[in-house]
Structure 1
Amino acid sequence: MDVVSDAISAVRLGHPSSERVRKSCSWCTRLDPFGGAGFHVVLKGGCRLLPDDGAPVSLGVGDAVLLPHGTGHVLTERPQRGETEILCGRYRLDCSRIHPLLAEMPQVVHLPSRVGGHRELRAAIDLLAGELDERLPGACVALPHLLDLLLVYMIRAWMTEATSGAWPRVLGDPVTAGALRALHSDPAAPWTTERLAAEVNVSRPTLARRFTTLVGRPPMAYLTWWRIILTATLLRDTSETLASIAGRVGYGSPYALSHAFQREFGTTPGRYRKAAREASAPPPHAEIGP
């Protein structure tokens, strides 16, 4: 696994949802804050997005906007009236221990349409629009997978375009990115800073300095944190015993893992699993588009 995939998998709950909506003449709608991430893609016409905390964003045909933290906002017509079509959707996320890569994303990520820019994102948008229009056999399987792809492509596009933020720099640094790939690929391995430095072909002081500066914590502190987050994901998404999970994340015993988990989450693994499963139940239907 890579860091971006792991960061998304650790917080994703259930299936995403989407719908294609059409508006004409004068219109305005309010979407309340949401416990997850939302997105809009303008397929025809244009509109304005007015976030609760931030500057208005003007959206034209082909523009995509991601709201990684479920920010409340208003969508409204642009001055030139006409028919507007928007693809709207939501991702349900567990934000209790979100990965710092996702946590540092801005409230609104505007991805303007560009000729030849972010081809994967444009292709995913076209495929989604087609599936929503046609409702062909297999659409119930295709749609959630295409929505998952859309989220990945929007995060990739943000990382490419970002002019600030630590994590685009983290994953652009060959030493730190290589160390993170190693930790995420095999979190149960008996890692030490020395072994990790050898893995990425640098000295121990060089790895420690670069990793700590960019990531914000030393390599082994990050690994300890990630093992607990991975434990929470496995408790939520599988029926594995704590002993089995301990082996998968690099703890010698379920007791040691339980103690570390309670220190981070403030509750026992068993209680966390029960609460997480209740939270993962499908919510009542809620409007996701204007």
Structure 2
Amino acid sequence: MDVVSDAISAVRVGRPSSTRLRVGGSWCARIAPYEGAGFHVALAGSCWMLPDGGSPLCLNTGDAVLLPHGTGHVIADRPADRATVERAVDLARVAAVPSANSAADTELLCGKYRLDQRHAHPLMAELPDVVHIPNRAGRHGELRAAIDLLGREVATSAPGSAVALPSLLDLLLVYLVRAWMADSTTSRWPAALNDPVVAAALRALHEDPAEAWSNERLAARVGVSRATLARRFTALVGRAPMAYLTWWRLTRAAALLRATPDALDTIARRVGYSSPYALSHAFSRQYGTTPGRYRAGVTA
């Protein structure tokens, strides 16, 4: 697994959901804050979005927007002011109203990803409240292709669509995160993954968190001195290498407790702890509960 894949997998819970929305005339919908991430893709026409605490944003055909922290917002046919917000209704009610079926209709794909934000990887936590990727020629070709495929898939009821659509939505999330990383000039994690030393160290820790890593062994793996690794890694990642490794091992343990029936000793070995006791002690220190109670809570 690479760092971006692991960062997304660590917080993913369940399957994404989506709604195809085709509206015309005057309309306005409110989407409440959500424990996960929301998204909109403008398949045709245009609309406006007003995130809570943010500025109005115009979405044109081919634009995509990700709200990675589940920020509440309003989408409407016009720039949202106070009067617009006050007349907003639930998205489901807007979707239930037939459109004017005119050339000026707007068609959106709206949806949500279920994310466990309590264990968000710092890469995901660093994403801004609103990630807007406008449709620009020559930029983010893989994202454009995914949006085109999504548009075709939601317009039909072809065989296999129940499998294809969630898979395309998962792909959309990856491409939106990639696009943000490519466009970001000031964020820490895109810089970390573009630094050859730090990226190689992160890749090694993610590929085999159960390895008996030390600062010396990791520095030797990436071909630099221990001091150079510590300086560059800490500056870009925000944690020293071994502190990051501890955090990542426990994050992986939490994900395995959520997603698998594996015994605690099996999970301990997979994430680099010598015994269930050692894992339980570290897990309780980080999460304030035992692995057993954590598993019981998320599966209740």
TM, length-normalised to structure 2:
0.91
- Residue in 2 that maps onto 1:38: 38
Q: Which residue of 2 aligns with 1:263?
A: 285
Query: Deviations along 1:216-238, whole A, 9 cap, x unmatched?
Result: 11100000010000000000000
Rounded to whole Å, the distance in 2 between the matches of 1:260 and 1:49 is 43
| Separation in 2, partners of 1:99, 1:257 | 20
- Cα RMSD for the two superposed structures: 1.1
- Structure 1, residues 203-249: CA drift from partner, whole Å, max 9, x if none? 11100110011111110000001000000000000000000001101
Alpha-carbon distance between aligned partners in 2 of 1:173 and 1:4, rounded to the nearest angstrom: 15
Q: Is the 8 A contact 1:20 1:129 kept in 2?
A: no
- The unaligned stretches of length 5 or more in structure 1 are 279-290
- % of aligned pairs identical? 65
Per-residue CA shift, 1:125-171, capped at 9, x if unaligned? 11112111112111111111111100000000000011221111111
Is 1:157 equivalent to 2:179 in the alignment?
A: yes
TM-score norm. by structure 1 comes to 0.94
Q: What letter corresponds to residue 111 of structure 1 in structure 2?
A: I
Q: Post-superposition shift, 1:34? A: 0.4
Structural mapping, 1:220-235, within 5 Å: 220-235=242-257
> Matches of 1:271 and 1:126 in 2, distance apart?
44
- The answer to whether the Cα contact below 8 Å between 1:11 and 1:98 also exists between their aligned partners in 2 is yes
Does 1:69 pair with 2:69? yes
**What is the number of equivalent residue pairs in this alignment?**
277
Distance in structure 1 (CA, Å) of the matches to 2:53 and 2:3: 29
- 2:92 — aligned with what? none
| Distance of 1:182 and 1:135 partners within structure 2 | 43
Q: SS at the partner of 1:14?
A: coil
Matched, 1:123 2:151: no
Structure 2 CA distance, aligned partners of 1:146 and 1:83? 24
Q: Which residue, out of 216, 238, 245, partners 1:216?
A: 238
Partners of 1:82 and 1:197 in 2: CA distance = 59
* Corresponding residue to 2:196 among 174, 182, 187: 174
The C-alpha deviation readout for 1:24-67, integer Å capped at 9, x for no partner, is 01111110000000100111111111000111111111110000
Where has structure 1 moved over 3 Å in runs of 4 or more? Answer: none
1:6 pairs with 2:28: no
User: Is 2:272 aligned against 1:247?
Assistant: no
| AA of the residue aligned to 2:51 | P
Query: What residue ranges of structure 2 are gaps of 5+ in the alignment?
Result: 80-102
CA distance in 2, matches of 1:159, 1:78: 30
Q: Give, as a single letter, the amino acid of the residue that structure 2 aligns with 1:33.
A: P
Q: Secondary structure at the match of 2:216?
A: helix
Secondary structure in 2 matching 1:15: coil
Q: Distance in 1 between matches of 2:298 and 2:109?
A: 29
